[in-house]
Structures are given as C-alpha cells and as structure tokens.
Amino acid sequence: MSEILQIDTVDKYNRLFGIPTLHPLVSVVDLSRPEQLMPYKMNFGFYALFLKREMCGELTYGRGRYDYADGTLVAIAPGQIVGTNYPEGTKPPSARGVLFHPDLIRGTVLGQEMKNYTFFSYEENEALHLSEAERGIIEGCMDHIERELQHRPDGLSRRLIIDQIDVLLGYCLRFYDRQFTTRSEQNQDTIVRFERLLDDYFDGVTPQENGLPTVKYFADRVFLSPNYFSDMIRKQTGKAPSEYIQAKLVELAKEQLVSSRKTSTQIAYELGFQYPQHLSRMFKRVAGCTPNEFRARAGRG
C-alpha cells in the first residue's frame, strides 16, 4: 500500500480499525484484531505508545543485539509516518497501544513538558525493550487509563487521564535510563566512534567547505537518531554531544592562537564559523575569556 493515510485524530484511527471511541482525544487500543494485519502507511496526528508483548525476534543495536525481548515499546509523535507489512500467514500481534491527541494536554503541565520526552523522536530500531516486570508496570498504566475511559465522565476525568499518561511517560524515561545503562559496553563503542569522527571532521578542509558539524551529522554516521544519540551520550558521559563539539572547537582554536599568528577571525573561518563573533562568544563561554585574552595570557599577544 503506497498511499499514506492522514490519520489526524484518535477517532479516525479507531474507525479505521473498528475500535469504539470512548473519548475523542485519547484511546487504549487492542492490536490483536485480524484487521490490524492490513499493510498501511499512516501519518499520525497524535502521540502513540505501542507495546508489543511477545518476543519480537532478533533486532540489532549498532553491532550488538537487544538484551530485552519480553516486550517492546515504540513511541510515535505527531507528524511521524508509520508503516506495517505483515507476511502472509502472520498471526495478529499481541499488543496494546495508548493514543492521545496534543489537544488533550494543551495548556497543561504535561503539555509543557512533552519536549523532555525525547524518546518520541527515536527511530523504531531504538525502541524500549522491557523486562517482564517493566512490561507489567507499563500494562498497569494502560489499565488505569482504560478504566478511567470506561468511567462515566465527570469534572475530574481529563485530569485523571492526563495524570496517568504522565505516570506512563515517567516510567518510560526510567526504563530508557536502565536501557542506556545495561548497554553500556555498546554505548561506549559509539562514544569512541563519535570522538574519532569529531577528530576526522576537523582534520582537513571539511569545516571550510561544510561549516560547523551538527549533532545530526554524527548521529547519522553511527546509525542513530539525533535524539537517541544525544540522550545516550549525555547518560553515559554527563555531557551533550553539542558540548563535545564546542569543547573540540575551543581546543582547536587555543592551539592555533598559541602556535600561529593567525587572527581570531582567520581561525574562526578555518574552523567553519560563518561569523567570527560566534567563535568569540563560544570561546568566552567555554574558556572564560576571549580568544585575544587567551593569546595575551599565553604570551603571544
């Protein structure tokens, strides 16, 4: 199926698969129905968390393998395109999902904090793999949301549903932290590759030709999404990839300031800065002084 379905509401998703709509902005769905096996591509207009319960076969993470297969949780954000293609004879998956529209949380604390749940921008191969105990907790959160949806609506319904979604997302953060920790060895390999790529980028004329490197540039080369890459690096080292890039730029600038007579403007252009003053601001923020002040202190002023 090549057509991309624009599924911009929870109700439209429910109607597509014959699921009753108990609330126009949120739903807990059962994905074990036969009609779920139809191949499709959808552009989602809402947030979704899909939990696949049974073992899902071998998946790879970099050059390693996933260490948890009792349950897999995939997070989808509005605007993402999702597709499925089940081979002939496939049985319906044992899975559940929670769907909630941005309008449900608009103007709430959760709505303001959604930017912190960066796992919604991870790729599918960066899904959260759960232990049996963790899967039970996630299922319990879904049960609470489903029971509240089945309750007769009152003045507290929206608040309680949002609170349960907030708890569910909090557990997702906790379990992703665990996943980053349990994959420490694989993650360390990624960090080493990142540092080598960073060195290689500035070892030549690439900065002058392409400008400053982005986090996405390095994430693409280690086959991770920018958000997953950033979260993994920060979890393992306490520093964001952008901080690594800035530290590298300042160190290279220091070396040039001490070992050459190039002006700070020349150094800035050679490092890939479009505007020299941007180097001065970064240098002062990281090193505590301007490039010219650093050179003077080093006795090259």
Model confidence at 237: pLDDT above 80: yes
Model confidence at 130: pLDDT above 80: yes
| pLDDT for the residue numbered 178 | 92
Cut 0.85: pTM above it: no
| pLDDT for the residue numbered 85 | 60
CB-based contact 240:234 (threshold 8 Å): yes
pLDDT confidence tier of residue 66, bands split at 50, 70 and 90: very low
pLDDT confidence tier of residue 61, bands split at 50, 70 and 90: very low
Quick: pLDDT tens for 28-41.
Answer: 998 776 555 566 78
| pLDDT for the residue numbered 49 | 95
| pLDDT for the residue numbered 183 | 85
Query: Going from the N-terminus, what domains does the chain have, and what CATH number goes with each?
Result: 4-182 (2.60.120.280), 185-297 (1.10.10.60)
CB-based contact 191:233 (threshold 8 Å): yes
pLDDT confidence tier of residue 16, bands split at 50, 70 and 90: confident
**What is d(CA 107, CA 81) in angstroms, rounded to the nearest whole number?**
26
pLDDT confidence tier of residue 254, bands split at 50, 70 and 90: very high
| pLDDT for the residue numbered 227 | 94
Q: Among 152-156, 163-167, 252-256, 280-284, which stretch is predicted with the lowest mean pLDDT? A: 152-156
Query: Comparing C-alpha atoms, which of 245, 222, 80 is closest to residue 232?
Result: 222
Quick: pLDDT tens for 83-102.
Answer: 766 555 556 567 889 999 99
Region 170-176: mean pLDDT is: 96
pLDDT confidence tier of residue 271, bands split at 50, 70 and 90: very high
